[in-house]
Amino acid sequence: MLEVKDLHVSIHGKTILDGLSLAVKPGEVAAIMGPNGSGKSTLSYVIAGKPGYEVTSGEVLLDGENLLDLPADERARKGVFLAFQYPIEIPGVATMTFLKASLNAQRRGRGEADLTTPEFMRRVREASQRLKVDQEMLRRPLNVGFSGGEKKRIEILQMTLLNPRFAVLDETDSGLDIDALRIVSEGVNALRDPTRGFLVITHYQRLLDHIKPDVVHVMAKGRIVASGGPELALELEKNGYRDYAVEAA
Amino acid sequence: MAAVQETVDRVRAIDVDAYKYGFVSAIESDVAPKGLNEGIVRFISAKKEEPEWLLAWRLDAYRRWLTMEEPKWARVDYPPIDFQDLHYFAAPKNAAGPRSLDDVDPELLRVYEKLGIPLVEQEILAGVEKPRVAVDAVFDSVSVATTFKAELAKAGVIFCSFSEAVHNHPELVKRYLGTVVPSTDNYYATLNSAVFSDGSFVYVPEGVRCPMELSTYFRINEKNTGQFERTLIIAEKGAYVSYLEGCTAPKRDENQLHAAVVELVALDDAEIKYSTVQNWYPGDAEGRGGIYNFVTKRGDCRGARSKISWTQVETGSAITWKYPSCILRGESSRGEFYSIAISNGRQQVDSGTKMIHLGRNTTSRIISKGVSAGRSQNTYRGQVSAHRLATGARNFTNCDSLLIGSECGAHTVPYIEAKNASAVIEHEATTSKVSEEQLFYCQQRGLSAEEATALIVNGFVRDVLQQLPMEFAVEAQKLIAISLEGSVG
């Protein structure tokens, strides 16, 4: 469903992605692992449409449609979701308000009617209970003063409500203690289904203990340098990235 | 959230070049010839059949004005105003006193309809008994429609046009006029004192809580007409009143001068809450043709434990020069100022407040939110002073600026003066930008750039929006989004 073809991306003239190709099938959870500076976050931003990245060549297709021509909000409406490594604070905007605004913006973008308030509340209650997000937190301004774990749970809460076709999780495990990691992972696992694709970006095996990937890709110097099954992640955990980093250089 | 969504729909519906309220209605006017001299002052006074003392007061102000100079200290820039090239009086022709809505010029009612004014008031105009808002409509210079007068009268509240008050309650006008903003106060207030046309008058007697929000919609309609409104609100001991003022104006090629004066007097234990939503024509993309808004608004907490609270949402005008202030004279009196000032395009805003602590244990609070977009300049200018005798005076000021884009400016100019050692004055200020990161985050969730900006700005001003009466808050949210239209590329 997601195809990245020979993607070259630079910022201020510096090459970050250097001919990256990748495919994620419907229902598949693909993990990307790699050392710092290998371009993992850049990949997630380019898929989601963050301004400021210069795509010099290549394509990013979702169900055959090139996303690169679309602004970020249209990609979101087509079902692309990015769980941020560092979720952004929006002062003065209650989390609940933000959830409703984004959900209805996406619905309208797809020609659907706004959710009624009771229906919206029902969905929020259900999802937030599962993710152990209490109602008080939803009244607070989005991400302002939230702990690392709270921010990540709110990201997964948003993902649950927005119900995306394809989700990128950018180091969702960073800053999580073991309990929060389990709650977040369960939230992700609950969304696994045969039509949805996931790209899970992480440094560590420990997230993949909870979210079992179908495929593991190793990224170094802006390219995929190795692909394999879950066992590849275990091997990396043991031996580190050195071999791949050298190989790519 | 509904309001934000609605806002966004409204923003979308607006043609970039066509200011929504830019139309000219065709009510005939009774216009004084251009120019200003003693004869014009006498003409205005005669037209309004004023008593001799008021004419003398006007003439005194006029002579004083001739000796004064325009203030130049504000961070605003505009070509010199030719005061001889303005009309100083215009009254709708049918103003001889319709006393029921049936008598009101239907064209005027259509104007209100076009303005989308205000759902709440439209219901009232249509006779729907629901929210309790009384409207005193100031159309060009003369009040032509007043509702709910009878019910207010039952409570003993006087709410009428300034001219009516001069005729029916001369003793009150004489006792309070110019006691808060003297006719010698400043260039524009003095000009206003000489040529003021009309405005609102409110008197709430001792111990009375005004049974409804009082609301006036000002509107500038006559070509080249300087507008010189004069409003006077008096709350006797223990009285309470909440007053709403909202403004829109039709499109113009030439700049329009507006120099209003508002005076508030609160006696012992009285409270006055004054809310403004100002949306005058800000000029075209190059800043041509917008309203010059040079206003003097001041409240006098004359009595012990009295309270005056100003809340303003300023989105319009080419130039805003406005400092609603409180003189905290009564012991333990309190002044508040809540402000949202939004500038876009070429707008210039120099606005803030003064809190003058004269009495013991007086307190004040200032919350100012400035939002600058486009190529606008937005200045907060505020003065907090504690007099030698104002022991125990306390002030808290929070002054936040938000920038959208990289061509606008935000400036903060606080003047703080404590003349006794027991005064405590706090000032907090921040400046931030709507960041690329925030916009991207919102857009990643499906909000358009416009929706995202409206959401972020509404979050930024939330503390102040909460101070507005409910129906005004909704209107204000819409206005905020409308005025930011085109600010994101």
ipTM: 0.95
Nearest to B440 among A72, A101, A158 (CB): A72
What CA–CA distance (Å, rounded) separates B132 from A174?
Answer: 55
Residues of chain B with Cβ-Cβ distance to A87 below 8 Å are 441
Cβ of B449 within 8 Å of Cβ of A92? The answer is no
Task: Write the burial class of residue A158 (CB in 10 Å: 0-12 exposed, 13-18 middle, 19+ buried).
Answer: buried
- DSSP tag of B101: G
Cβ of B458 within 8 Å of Cβ of A49? The answer is no
Residues of chain A with Cβ-Cβ distance to B451 below 8 Å are 101, 105
pLDDT in tens, A108-164: 988 999 999 999 999 999 999 989 899 999 999 999 999 988 999 999 999 999 999
Nearest to B5 among A81, A104, A106 (CB): A104
Cβ of B1 within 8 Å of Cβ of A101? The answer is yes
Task: Grade residue B140 by pLDDT with cuts at 50, 70 and 90.
Answer: very low
Q: What percent of chain B has a predicted confidence (pLDDT) above 90? A: 50
**Half-sphere exposure of residue B208, counting CA atoms within 13 Å on the CB side?**
19
pLDDT in tens, B402-411: 999 889 999 9
Q: Measured between CA atoms, how close is B133 to chain A, in angstroms?
A: 29
Q: Which residues contact A43 (CB under 8 A, 6 or more apart)?
A: A4, A7, A17, A20, A32, A201, A219
Q: What percent of chain A has a predicted confidence (pLDDT) above 70? A: 98
Residues B398, B415 contacting (CB under 8 angstroms): no
Nearest to B446 among A90, A92, A105 (CB): A105
pLDDT in tens, B295-312: 999 999 999 999 999 999
What CA–CA distance (Å, rounded) separates A214 from A182?
Answer: 19
pLDDT in tens, B223-236: 444 578 899 999 99
Q: In this complex, is the C-beta atom of A111 within 8 Å of any C-beta atom belonging to chain B?
A: no
- DSSP tag of B235: E
Q: In this complex, is the C-beta atom of A50 within 8 Å of any C-beta atom belonging to chain B?
A: yes
Domains of chain A: 2-182+189-248 (3.40.50.300)
Q: In this complex, is the C-beta atom of B463 within 8 Å of any C-beta atom belonging to chain A?
A: yes
What CA–CA distance (Å, rounded) separates B28 from B420?
Answer: 57
The CA distances from residue B467 to B67, B187, B336, B355, B474, in Å, are 41, 31, 11, 18, 12
The CA distances from residue B162 to B170, B261, B262, in Å, are 10, 12, 11
Q: Which residues contact B14 (CB under 8 A, 6 or more apart)?
A: B20, B482, B485
The residue extents of the domains of chain B are: 26-118+131-437
Please give the structure tokens belonging to residue B455.
């959401």
Q: In this complex, is the C-beta atom of A144 within 8 Å of any C-beta atom belonging to chain B?
A: no
Q: Which helix (H) or strand (E) holds B142?
A: strand B142-146
Residues of chain A with Cβ-Cβ distance to B436 below 8 Å are 51-52
Q: Measured between CA atoms, how close is A231 to chain B, in angstroms?
A: 33
The CA distances from residue A180 to A38, A124, A172, A198, B331, in Å, are 27, 19, 11, 20, 55
- Tell me the three state secondary structure of residue B230: strand
* Helical H segments across chain A, by residue range: 40-48, 72-77, 95-109, 117-130, 135-139, 148-162, 178-191, 205-210, 231-239, 242-248
pTM of the model: 0.80
Mean pLDDT of chain B, nearest integer:
81
| Residue B416 pLDDT exceeds 50 | yes
